Amino acid sequence: MDSNTIIQLSHVNFYYDQSRALTDISMGFMKNKVTALIGPSGCGKSTLLRLLNRMNDLIDGTRVEGEILFEDKNIYAQDVDPVEIRRKIGMVFQKPNPFPKTIYNNIAYGPKLTSTNHNDLDMLVEQSLKQAVLWDEVKDILNKSAMNLSGGQQQRLCIARALAMRPDILLMDEPTSALDPISTAKIEELIEELKKEYTIIIVTHNMQQAARISDETAFFYIGNLVEYNKTEKIFTKPDMKHTEDYITGRFG
């Protein structure tokens, strides 16, 4: 694994009971880059994303083969604590899912649970909200319920909540599919900023979004990694005919 790679998959297979959802995936994700995972529904891209922070552990009957190296250790090794992995590899979901708590407590909840030092909580909340470019909009209503925020604000709150855990990697599963174009633009702008400090892996059905925000793009089809390359290459001259047919909207 070279120094630019933060997480490396080697010959990963994934099964839901008897059915194989991912086939022999080997790929590395680059540090401080945005990588987009694209492909038709059911191609395995969200499954792969959830594998990276062991979210699939929560589904009965699933099985992983192969190796996912993060910080020189297989994250599926027996002695690895999945909770610790999820702290370092945060996740933002398709629909904003704030806790039914105040804005402040949405951010402070995780750090309070995992750390005994609560002195700097105010600063951590402020920093995280600033990083998610939400601070100016909510600084005067921190004790109001997060449920009153707009969808776009709620999604940025969820990003701030993930950032408060100081992760290395941020996984995003279609983070803007439920948002209007302005909120989407704000999140995309935010992703551009966040990659300076974090590694971002994003699943998106929006091809233009993948083209706009990602540095690298991986195209999946029926559980296989078809092509993985620089985004400008994928969207101007992909190597594989299959990739080209998919991104240009031709019949599969």
Partner 1 sequence: MEEKRHTSSHYEKELQEIKNGLIYLGALTEKAIHAAMKSLSERNSDVAHEVIQADDEIDGLDTELEEKCIQILALRQPTAIDLRFITTAIKITGHLERIGDMAANIAEKALLLIEEPQLKPYIDLPRMTDLVAGMIRDSLDSFIRKDLHMAQKVQQTEQVIDDLNEQIFRELLTFMMEDSKSIHRSLMIMQVSKNLERIADHAKGIADMVTYMVTGECVRHQTYPLDEKEPA
Residue 76 beta carbon to partner 1: minimum distance, rounded to whole angstroms: 36
Nearer to partner 1, 47 or 214 (CB): 214
Residue 238 beta carbon to partner 1: minimum distance, rounded to whole angstroms: 6
Nearer to partner 1, 154 or 209 (CB): 209
Residue 26 beta carbon to partner 1: minimum distance, rounded to whole angstroms: 24
Both structure tokens of 178: 């439920």
> Is 250 exposed, middle or buried (CB count within 10 Å of its CB: 0-12, 13-18, 19+)?
exposed
Nearer to partner 1, 133 or 240 (CB): 240
Nearer to partner 1, 160 or 218 (CB): 218
Residue 252 beta carbon to partner 1: minimum distance, rounded to whole angstroms: 8
The residues that touch partner 1, with contacts defined as CB under 8 A, are 207-208, 211, 234-238, 241, 243-245, 247-251
> Is 34 exposed, middle or buried (CB count within 10 Å of its CB: 0-12, 13-18, 19+)?
buried
Tally of CB atoms within 10 A around 113? 10
The DSSP-derived string for 131-163 is HTT-HHHHTT-TTSBGGGS-HHHHHHHHHHHHH
Task: Give the CA-trace dihedral at 82, 83, 88, 90, to 10 degrees.
Answer: 100
Both structure tokens of 51: 């594998």
Q: CB neighbours of 118 closer than 8 A, spacing ≥ 6?
A: 111, 112
Residue 208 beta carbon to partner 1: minimum distance, rounded to whole angstroms: 6
Nearer to partner 1, 105 or 243 (CB): 243
Nearer to partner 1, 100 or 249 (CB): 249
Nearer to partner 1, 141 or 207 (CB): 207
Residue 185 beta carbon to partner 1: minimum distance, rounded to whole angstroms: 15
Residue 151 beta carbon to partner 1: minimum distance, rounded to whole angstroms: 24
With H, G, I as helix, E, B as strand and everything else as coil, classify residue 56: helix
The DSSP-derived string for 211-246 is HHH-SEEEEEETTEEEEEEEHHHHHHS-SSHHHHHH
